[in-house]
Every structure is written in structure tokens, then in C-alpha cells.
């Protein structure tokens, strides 16, 4: 079931009863102890935030980017479906402490705070062109050496961007937990998975709590900064039956998981239901279920495209059984480097940012793309 539902389109895994060993979170905290689910600001992890304007079919599109670092190769970070550039926040602070590099994390079209004329066009071709246009807007005709790193859907877009030569100064390619065979197998079950998620949350804190307790993000710190980019205030009226029902069936039940005693649970649920009318609700920034027509285009032929990219390549996976035939042969031929990071969910770079940073830093230093910072490792 995990293999079927592990979708590389999403930066998440299906909800689980608990978190596996090795995660950074424990569900049971003991009496009187409460975990902190308050949001964390982007500025704690990135140095700058800006909106980059690009020309697109007689209109201007604006892409939100977050940056850190002033010298060294550029790491262009592409997030998974439904997430945003903030998915890379904790990873960015770690990698910048390891090696000399610059980081640029962008909100892809239809995601985060990016504003484009046609946010519904999430084709691989269009999103790959977006990456090239943002690079051109940032660096002009002589961009610095760039390594593209993509997770899940972003990993597929990274491969399409590299294969189409949209980044002429491409140094290397890193793909995190996306394999064509597994992704294609999972497409049929994706709508059911998306329907299983809460439609709304009564606060950003509730969204963060759900993401941790469901196993979508197993690192509380990362969830506290990342989920801010996944949800937005609802635009529909608060009196909508669909809204109140999804709240009571979704996150409120999650919240009660650590409570003791049925009577107090019932009382709290009643109080929460009454509070709904007073609060502004939050929902997902992008309706992934409506992007289904693009899913196959993201992943079909991905293994072949990945293998034909001439730059050094790194594949990071959360499980060993996710290589398809083409990649298995390619690995035996030494066409790319692969590393498995166990005890991670699908959001590998969020669950284990230090391990991903270590793998990437070692890869880049080995290929002489950059150097370790003084005192590291």
C-alpha cells in the first residue's frame, strides 16, 4: 500500500497512525507538555525574499523566490506538488553551513506566492520554461554555475528543465524521491489520497499540527515554516456546511489524539465547533486534484530523460525498492549516484535536512563544484 500511495507528485505520504522510529517527533509527550506548532518566519532560514518578474506571452508573471549566500555555485531548489519554496527552509540553513554555495528556492507556478497569468497550466514544458526564465531574470546572459535540485514533482520539473537546456550553465542535477515507475503506478490512487486530506483548517497552527500527526512532514521545525506556504485563508463563507463539516471531521479529531477522557473530548469538540464561526478558516493554496491532466506528463519518460542528461546526477530516495528497470540498469552502468535515506517519509529533505545536506555537499565537493566551509566536516 505504501508503494502504491507513495506519489512523487506530492510532497507527502498518506496519513499514518504514528511516526516511524528515527523521526524527529514523538506523539506522546507526557502530562502537561505541549508541542509548539506556531509558524516560523522565512527570515529565520533565508537571507532575502523577492518577487522576480518575467515576460510571458505579452504579460508579466511574478515568481516568489527566497535566497541565501553570496558566492559559490547556485543551488536552484524546486519543491514538490502542493508545497512551496518554504519546503526548503531548514535544508537551506544546513547546506549553507556545510559548503560555499548560493541558494535560490522558487515558488513554482500555481504554488506559494507566485502570481502568473495562467496558474492552471502546470505542464512540465511550461514549468521547465519558468525555471529558465527566472534564472535569466536573475543572472542575465552569463549565469553562474547552477545545480538544479528538485523534490517529487519538482524533481520531475528539474529533469525536464535540464533535458531542454533551459539552464545553459547547468552544473549538476539532484532528484529527490521521484522515480517514473513508482509515480506512474501511483497515479490511479492519487485522487483518493487527496480526498482523504482535510479540506480546511481553523488556523495555520492546526495545519502544522495535522501535517506532523499525519506523517506528511515528520520534522516539527520544518512543518512550522513549510506549511505556511501550503495553506491560505478561505475565500468562501464561514457558514458553508462543507467547511464546518471538514473541520469537525478532520483536524479536530487529530487534535484530540493526545487528550485523556471521552467527556473532556466531547466538551472540547463542542467548544471548537462553536469557535469555528468566529475564526477565519484556512484551506490549501492549490487544488491538486484539478491538476490531474498534467500528472502523466510530469513522469512519463522521466527515467530516460534523467539518464540522458550529460551532467553529474544524484538520486536520493526514501526507500530501496523504488528503482524502475531503466534506472536499475543506469545505476549498474554508473550513470548516476544514488543514496537511500531510511526512516524518512516522502518529504526527505524536510524530514532529514542534515542527511540530505550531507549527501549533497559530499557529491558537490567530490565533483569539485565547490568546497567545504572551513571547519567542516
Q: pLDDT digits over 352-376, tens only?
A: 999 999 999 999 999 999 999 987 7
pLDDT of residue 235: 73
- How far is 132 from 102, CA to CA, in rounded Å? 17
The mean-pLDDT minimum among 20-34, 157-171, 346-360 falls in 20-34
Whether pLDDT at 344 is above 80: yes
In a domain, 134, yes or no: yes
SS (H, E, C) the chain: CHHHHCCCCECCCCCCCCCCCCCCCCCCCCCCCCCCCCCCCHHHCCCEEEEEEEEECCEEEEEEEEEECCCCCEEEEECCECCCHHHHHHHHHHHHHHECCEEEEECCCCCCCCECCCCCCCCHHHHHHHHHHHHHHHHCCCCCCEEEEEECHHHHHHHHHHHCCCCCCEEEEEEECCCHHHHHHHHHHHHHHHHHCCCEECCHHHHHHHHHHCCCCCCHHHHHHHHHHCEEECCCCCCCHHHHHHHHHCHHHHHHHHCCCHHHHHHHHHHHHHHHCCCCCEEECCCHHHHHHHHHHHHCCHHHHHHHCCCCEEEEECCHHHCCHHHHHHHHCCCCEEEECCCCCCCHHHHCHHHHHHHHHHHHHHCCCCCECCCCC
pLDDT of residue 320: 65
Over range 86-111, report the average pLDDT: 97
185 is catalytic: no
Which residue is catalytic, options 61, 177, 272, 351?
A: 177
What percent of the chain stands above pLDDT 70? 78
Whether pLDDT at 24 is above 90: no
pLDDT of residue 237: 52
Question: Which comes out higher in pLDDT, residue 281 or 257?
Answer: 281
Measured torsion, CA atoms of residues 215, 93, 105, 11, in degrees rounded to the nearest 10: -10
pLDDT of residue 15: 32
- How far is 135 from 145, CA to CA, in rounded Å? 11
- How far is 78 from 327, CA to CA, in rounded Å? 21
pLDDT of residue 3: 38
- How far is 7 from 4, CA to CA, in rounded Å? 8
pLDDT of residue 234: 87
Over range 137-154, report the average pLDDT: 96
Over range 287-294, report the average pLDDT: 93
CB–CB of 122/109 below 8 Å?
yes
Whether pLDDT at 250 is above 90: no
In a domain, 119, yes or no: yes
346 is catalytic: yes
Whether pLDDT at 101 is above 70: yes
Residue 264's contacts (CB-CB under 8 Å, 6 or more residues apart) are none
CA atoms within 13 A on the CB side of 324: 18
Question: Which comes out higher in pLDDT, residue 59 or 51?
Answer: 51
Whether pLDDT at 243 is above 60: no
In a domain, 317, yes or no: yes
In a domain, 181, yes or no: yes
Whether pLDDT at 276 is above 50: no
Question: Which comes out higher in pLDDT, residue 187 or 57?
Answer: 187
In a domain, 13, yes or no: no
CB–CB of 126/109 below 8 Å?
yes
pLDDT of residue 266: 52
pLDDT of residue 287: 93
**Average pLDDT taken over every residue of the chain:** 83
In a domain, 8, yes or no: no
The mean-pLDDT minimum among 56-60, 120-124, 152-156, 309-313 falls in 56-60
User: pLDDT band at residue 57, thresholds of 50, 70 and 90?
Assistant: confident
Buried b (16+ CB within 10 A) or exposed e, 305-329: bbbebeebbbbbbbbeebbbebbee
In a domain, 243, yes or no: no
Range of the domain at 68: 44-235+279-367
The mean-pLDDT minimum among 11-20, 110-119, 247-256, 336-345 falls in 11-20
Q: CATH number of the domain that 62 lies in?
A: 3.40.50.1820
The mean-pLDDT minimum among 161-170, 208-217, 263-272 falls in 263-272
pLDDT of residue 279: 55
pLDDT of residue 319: 76
Residue 163's contacts (CB-CB under 8 Å, 6 or more residues apart) are 305, 308, 309
43 is catalytic: no
pLDDT of residue 104: 98
- How far is 213 from 19, CA to CA, in rounded Å? 8
Specify the pTM.
0.83
Question: Which comes out higher in pLDDT, residue 4 or 276?
Answer: 276
Structurally, how many domains does the chain consist of? Answer: 1
pLDDT of residue 236: 60
CA atoms within 13 A on the CB side of 302: 30
Would you tell me how many other CB atoms lie within 10 Å of the CB of residue 332? 8
Backbone angles phi, psi at 350, to 5 degrees: -90, -40
Buried b (16+ CB within 10 A) or exposed e, 136-169: bebeeeebebbbbbbbbbbbbbbbbbbbeebbee
pLDDT of residue 377: 67
Which residue is catalytic, options 23, 68, 84, 152?
A: 152
Which residue is catalytic, options 83, 151, 346, 349?
A: 346
pLDDT of residue 334: 93
In a domain, 104, yes or no: yes
Whether pLDDT at 258 is above 80: no
Amino acid at each position: 500500500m505504501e508503494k502504491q500511495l507513495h506519489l512523487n507528485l506530492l510532497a507527502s505520504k498518506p496519513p499514518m497512525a504514528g511516526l516511524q522510529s528515527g523521526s524527529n517527533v514523538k506523539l506522546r509527550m507526557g502530562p502537561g507538555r505541549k508541542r509548539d506548532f506556531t509558524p516560523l518566519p522565512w527570515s529565520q532560514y533565508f537571507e532575502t525574499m523577492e518577487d522576480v518578474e518575467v515576460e510571458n506571452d505579452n504579460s508579466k508573471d511574478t515568481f516568489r523566490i527566497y535566497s541565501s549566500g553570496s558566492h559559490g555555485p547556485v543551488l536552484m531548489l524546486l519543491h514538490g506538488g502542493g508545497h512551496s519554496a518554504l519546503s526548503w527552509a531548514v535544508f537551506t540553513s544546513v547546506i549553507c553551513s556545510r559548503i560555499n554555495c548560493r541558494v535560490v528556492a522558487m515558488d513554482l507556478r500555481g504554488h506559494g506566492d507566485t502570481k502568473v497569468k495562467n496558474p492552471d497550466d502546470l505542464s512540465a514544458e511550461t514549468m521547465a520554461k519558468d525555471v529558465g526564465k527566472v534564472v535569466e531574470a536573475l543572472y542575465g546572459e552569463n549565469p553562474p554555475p547552477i545545480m538544479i535540485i528538485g523534490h517529487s514533482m519538482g524533481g520531475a520539473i528539474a529533469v525536464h528543465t535540464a533535458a531542454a537546456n533551459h539552464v545553459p550553465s547547468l552544473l549538476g542535477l539532484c532528484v529527490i524521491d521521484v522515480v517514473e515507475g513508482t509515480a506512474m503506478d501511483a497515479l490511479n490512487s492519487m485522487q483518493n489520497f487527496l480526498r482523504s486530506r482535510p479540506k480546511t483548517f481553523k488556523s495555520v497552527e492546526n495545519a502544522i499540527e495535522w501535517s506532523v500527526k499525519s506523517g506528511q512532514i515528520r520534522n516539527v521545525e520544518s512543518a512550522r515554516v513549510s506549511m505556511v506556504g501550503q495553506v491560505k485563508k478561505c475565500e468562501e463563507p464561514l457558514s458553508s456546511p462543507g467547511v464546518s463539516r471538514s473541520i469537525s471531521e478532520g483536524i479536530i479529531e487529530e487534535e484530540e489524539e493526545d487528550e485523556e477522557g471521552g467527556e473532556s473530548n466531547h466538551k472540547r469538540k463542542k467548544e471548537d465547533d462553536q469557535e469555528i464561526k468566529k475564526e477565519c478558516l484556512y484551506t490549501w493554496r492549490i487544488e491538486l486534484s484539478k491538476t490531474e491532466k498534467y500528472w502523466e506528463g510530469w513522469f512519463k519518460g522521466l527515467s530516460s530523460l534523467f539518464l540522458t542528461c550529460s551532467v553529474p546526477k544524484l538520486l536520493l530516495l526514501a526507500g530501496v525498492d523504488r528503482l524502475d528497470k531503466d534506472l536499475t540498469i543506469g545505476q549498474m552502468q554508473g550513470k548516476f549516484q544514488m543514496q537511500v535515506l531510511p526512516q524518512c517519509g516522502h518529504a526527505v529533505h524536510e524530514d532529514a535536512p542534515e542527511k540530505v545536506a550531507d549527501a549533497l555537499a559530499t557529491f558537490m565537493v567530490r565533483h569539485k563544484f565547490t568546497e567545504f566551509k572551513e571547519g567542516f566536516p
